[in-house]
Structure 1
Amino acid sequence: MKIKCLLVDDEPPALDLMTAYIERVGDLEIVGRCNNAIEAFGFMQKTKVDLLFLDIQMPKMTGLDLIRSLNDRPKIIIITAYREFAADGFDLDVLDYIVKPVSFERFLKAIGKFNQYNMLRQVEAQEKGPDAFEKAYMYFKVNKQVRKVFLKDIIYIESVKDYVKIVTTDKPLITYQRLSYMEEKLPENKFLRIHKSYIIAIDRISGYNNDLINIDGHELPLGRSYKQGFLKVVNV
């Protein structure tokens, strides 16, 4: 399902830049572009918006005033030339605050925060519905593309210096990320760290001994400091 995005800025070049960035990310869809906050308010009364990209300083009504006027708020990323409103923005629970000019890398970081939020919602829903994990996913920047990876397809994750290799049922992907970040974000009832360099999918464990764990035919080392936690998971 596409993430429905609304862009609000009184500067056409800023709208065009964000449009170009969004079109490079497959799961994002622009449902509207507005030149001021009043127009955006009316648009959101009629159209569902998942993610709002919002400028602050606009004529007639500021972006912050727009946020305050919304009863049912989408997730919001503020994009502005003014640093001094950051505290006000975060007090209003915005997802991210970006100061212009916006690079594509900084844009991707903001989208990553939205994906983290979505993933947490999916994991919470998993506790209420058995099929939620089948639909849960994360985005990763691989080379110059943003790739969508379903959590159910991950076999294991390996730390490679400043990168991680995500081995999936399709093919391995390498992305700039820390293993500790992955450990924090992945659902703990589905994934387990077994070594300083490895996280595995618990459901894919096919065998083990004192030193090695077999994961779908891959033999991975079991770290001494992680052994007790592993044995608790496999109920030994």
Structure 2
Amino acid sequence: MNQWNCLIVDDEPIALEIVENYCKQLSNLNVVGLCKNALEAREALQLHHVDILFIDINMPVLSGLAFIKTLKKMPQVIFTTAYKEYAVDAFDLAACDYLLKPFSLERFIVAVDKAVEKLLPTQALASTTREDKNEDFTFLKAEGKLYKVFFNEVLYVEASGNYTRIVTAQQTFLPAITLSATAEMLPNHLFLQAHRSFLINKSKITHLEGNRVFIGAIELPIGSNYKERFLEDLGL
């Protein structure tokens, strides 16, 4: 079984203790440090390899959100906070999950599983050669041409009959494949289904409002049958 190093950052001693105890319940987690603020966390990250970072948002000197923005190499980040209103900002920073205090051990395990799911492909990629393709891009045939499309450049995907509109910031592709076939070639940890006709790159989401999700000025619907799962996948 893989062992994952964890760092816990919170200015509340009780919160630190709770997350540490939860980590002890999972044999694949190894706590390498407990920090009371972001500056202590910065030092810990320089001393230890950290796979999963559990961090509060409201802390003295430097908030959890501000601290994450300073990191060049990010571990899998799980925010632990009592404030729901920071969720969109957290996911805009590509956070793995967002735990609202007080959270249960069951909800904690769900968050850890999400982090481990993202860590495993990274570890596998590091041990293989560059010949292993399709880790971060795919090739699409559209309009008689073959395009190389990087997953992290795709904003959203929209069903259009037997075609699919794949929209990036630079251009739109219209391959002759269905939305379900497109979903199979996209990394499911990054692309979430918000509507029967839309897959959305969660790292591009800027905010949510009612039954709408926004990518900058782009407004997309959240289907009533998909809303609960969509919000759950965002950690809300």
User: Helix, strand or coil: the match of 2:57?
Assistant: coil
Q: Report the counterpart of residue 40 of structure 2 in structure 1.
A: 39
User: Helix, strand or coil: the match of 2:121?
Assistant: helix
Q: Report the counterpart of residue 116 of structure 2 in structure 1.
A: 115
Runs of 4+ in 1 over 6 A off after TM superposition: none
Which runs of no fewer than 5 residues in structure 2 stay unpaired?
131-183, 185-236
Letter in 2 for 1:47: H
CA distance 1:45–1:122, shift in 2 (3 Å): closer
Using structure 1 for the length normalisation, give the TM-score.
0.52
Q: Identity, % of aligned pairs?
A: 42
Letter in 2 for 1:86: A
Q: Report the counterpart of residue 199 of structure 1 in structure 2.
A: none
**Deviation string, structure 1 residues 26-70 (Cα, Å, up to 9, x no partner):** 010000000111111122122211110000000111001110111
User: Helix, strand or coil: the match of 1:58?
Assistant: coil
Q: Report the counterpart of residue 49 of structure 2 in structure 1.
A: 48
Q: Which has the higher contact order (CA 8 A, sep 6+)?
A: 2
Letter in 1 for 2:60: P
Task: Note if 1:4 corresponds to 2:5.
Answer: yes
1:12-31 superposed matches below 5 A: 12-31=13-32
Larger Rg: 1
Residue 118 of structure 1, CA deviation: 2.3
User: Helix, strand or coil: the match of 2:78?
Assistant: strand
**Deviation string, structure 1 residues 139-192 (Cα, Å, up to 9, x no partner):** xxxxxxxxxxxxxxxxxxxxxxxxxxxxxxxxxxxxxxxxxxxxx8xxxxxxxx
Aligned equivalents of 1:118, 1:71: Cα separation in 2: 17
User: Helix, strand or coil: the match of 1:60?
Assistant: coil
Residue 119 of structure 1, CA deviation: 3.0
User: Helix, strand or coil: the match of 1:119?
Assistant: helix
User: Helix, strand or coil: the match of 2:61?
Assistant: coil
Residue 120 of structure 1, CA deviation: 2.9
Task: Note if 1:84 corresponds to 2:85.
Answer: yes
Aligned equivalents of 1:99, 1:62: Cα separation in 2: 16
Q: Report the counterpart of residue 189 of structure 1 in structure 2.
A: none
Aligned equivalents of 1:122, 1:46: Cα separation in 2: 20
CA distance 1:59–1:44, shift in 2 (3 Å): same
Using structure 2 for the length normalisation, give the TM-score.
0.52
